[in-house]
Amino acid sequence: MDVLKQRILQEGQHLGRGILKVDSFVNHQVDAPFMMLLGREFARRFGYLKPTKVLTAEISGIAPALATAYALDVPLLYARKTRPITMPAEVYRAKAPSHTKGGAVELMVSPEFLKPEDRVLIIDDFLATGQTILALVRIVQQANATLVGIGAVIEKAFEGGRDVLAHLNVPIESLVVIERFEGERIIFRDPEEQKVSF
User: What is the helix (H) or strand (E) element at residue 164, kind and residue range?
Assistant: helix 161-165
* Of residues 35-64, those binding its own copies (CB under 8 A): 35-36, 54, 58-59, 62-63
CB closer to its own copies, 8 vs 165: 8
| Using rule CB under 8 A, residue 8 touches its own copies | no
- Interface map 88-107 toward its own copies (x if CB under 8 A): ------------xx------
By CB under 8 A, tell whether 117 contacts its own copies.
no
In the list 74, 122, 150, 152, the residue contacting its own copies (rule: CB under 8 A) is 74
What minimum distance in Å lies between the beta carbon of 103 and its own copies? 12
Cβ proximity of 171 and 119 under 8 Å: no
Element at 181 (helix H, strand E):
strand 172-182
Report the alpha-carbon distance of residue 179 to residue 191 in Å, rounded.
11
Comparing CA positions, the residue from 122, 144, 127, 106 lying closest to residue 42 is: 122
Least Å from the CB of residue 54 to its own copies: 8
| CB atoms closer than 10 angstroms to residue 198 | 10
Interface pick for its own copies out of 6, 9, 18, 19 (rule CB under 8 A): 19
Strand pairing category for 172-182 and 146-156: parallel
The helix (H) or strand (E) run that includes residue 94 is: strand 92-97
Residues found near its own copies in the complex (CB under 8 A): 15, 19, 21-25, 27-33, 35-36, 54, 58-59, 62-63, 66-67, 69-70, 73-78, 80, 82, 84-87, 100-101, 109-110, 112-113
